[in-house]
Amino acid sequence: MKNILVTGGAGFIGANFVLYMLDKYPDYTIVVYDKLTYAGNLDNLRDVENDPRYAFVQGDICDAAAVEKAIKAHEIDTIINFAAETHVDRSIMNPDAFVQTSVYGTYVLLEAAKSLGLERYHQISTDEVYGHIPAGYSSKEGDLLKPRSPYAASKASADLMVNAYFVTYGLPVTITRGSNNIGPYQYPEKVVPLFSTNALDEEQLPVYGDGRQTREYQYVVDHCEAIDLVLHEGVLGETYNIGTGEDIENLRMVEILLETLNMPHDLILHVEDRAGHDRRYSLDIGKIKALGWNPRHTGEEAIVKTALWYKDNEWWWRKIKSGEFRAYYEAQYGKRLRDAGEE
């Protein structure tokens, strides 16, 4: 593994992963292959743009010819696929691009890895493929996939195709399933950056339903370390959960965030719930721990660190929130906020 194609590397986790890998491995080269959808942002990669070990190619993972060209031109031996449409609420409004990218796009990458004889294909997946998990249980890698949103279903489909390429063609694959990542460069549609930036602007925080849903909020660099470990020590054909083992209620996450930013609790506004909202995800992380990984941050530490990053990096999010985002915000929240009696 030396020349890595990071698809979706201009997004949140992909960019953090590129920064992490270039810092850790002086002899690796990384090519980011990214369509630059609304969520892709070259500002995320500003720190490495002049690094000779880094290159950027704008392209769609559904475009087989462009994928093959990039792999050949850069003598790629490994693909790590972060590319996806990633926001559950957008998948409810319009699932089409989710299916295109995660289902067809993943197939295109797998086919390229097979036909060009690559050393490794790694798929970035999510805890959402297991669906809602009742209290007292944590998902194991071999559990049935029961995705419930169009986003989760598109990601589960991709995992199944990755597994099919391992079994049928012997393609050297691995899969990791992360929990809710937070940290620098996350598009402010996801809850922690949305609420941090809204709070900084003294705007209301639209909490879905009763706010008693739980998530495992994980610091993104911890996730990157685990992916690195699986790339180097993981068993081919295997899947590894990467979480924190710690449930945090959304209302508790909001409290930590508001206390960190020193903003008042009356910014919280309960609004109409998300359709089909999964109340709980929970990962059993015994398998990745046995490989030698442990999270470095608790959920609370991750939330504090993330909220402070948004406080200190307005240069990054202000231009996003004033662009395409405004139309999205109105479509997603306008009626909900009015119905909930926003002042």
Residues in contact with ligand NAD by CB under 6 A are 7-8, 10-14, 34-37, 39-40, 60-62, 82-86, 101, 105, 124, 126, 155, 178, 180-181, 187
CB under 6 A: which stretch of 111-119, 201-209, 293-301, 320-328 binds ligand TYD? Answer: 201-209
Identify residues 123-182 at the interface with ligand TYD (CB under 6 A). 180
**Residue 272 is a catalytic residue:** no
Residues 6+ apart with CB under 8 A from 218: 178, 179, 180, 181, 182, 242, 243, 244, 295, 297, 299, 302
Q: Work out how close the CB of 251 gets to ligand TYD at its nearest, in angstroms, rounded to a whole number.
A: 9
The correct pick among 206, 234, 245, 295 for binding ligand TYD (CB under 6 A) is 206
Nearest-CA neighbor of 95 among 330, 220, 250, 276?
A: 276
Q: How many CA atoms lie within 13 A of 7 on its CB side?
A: 32
Q: Which of 34, 85, 89, 127 is catalytic?
A: 127
Within 46-124, where are the H helices?
64-73, 88-93, 96-98, 106-115
The correct pick among 83, 191, 220, 257 for binding ligand TYD (CB under 6 A) is 191
**Residue 201 is a catalytic residue:** no
- Given the complex with ligand TYD, which of 207 and 263 has the nearer CB atom? 207
Does residue 223 belong to the site contacting ligand TYD (CB under 6 A)?
A: no
Does residue 190 belong to the site contacting ligand TYD (CB under 6 A)?
A: yes
Burial of 315 (0-12, 13-18, 19+ CB in 10 A): exposed
Q: Work out how close the CB of 40 gets to ligand TYD at its nearest, in angstroms, rounded to a whole number.
A: 18
Pair 17, 54: CB distance under 8 Å: no
Residue type, 293: W
Residues 6+ apart with CB under 8 A from 117: none
**Residue 38 is a catalytic residue:** no
Q: Work out how close the CB of 15 gets to ligand TYD at its nearest, in angstroms, rounded to a whole number.
A: 18
Does residue 194 belong to the site contacting ligand TYD (CB under 6 A)?
A: yes
- Given the complex with ligand NAD, which of 35 and 321 has the nearer CB atom? 35
Residues in the chain: 343
Q: How many CA atoms lie within 13 A of 223 on its CB side?
A: 31
Residue with the CB atom nearest ligand NAD in the bound state = 11
Identify residues 268-297 at the interface with ligand TYD (CB under 6 A). 274
Q: How many other β-carbons are positioned within 10 Å of the β-carbon of residue 330?
A: 11
Catalytic annotation, residues: 127-128, 151
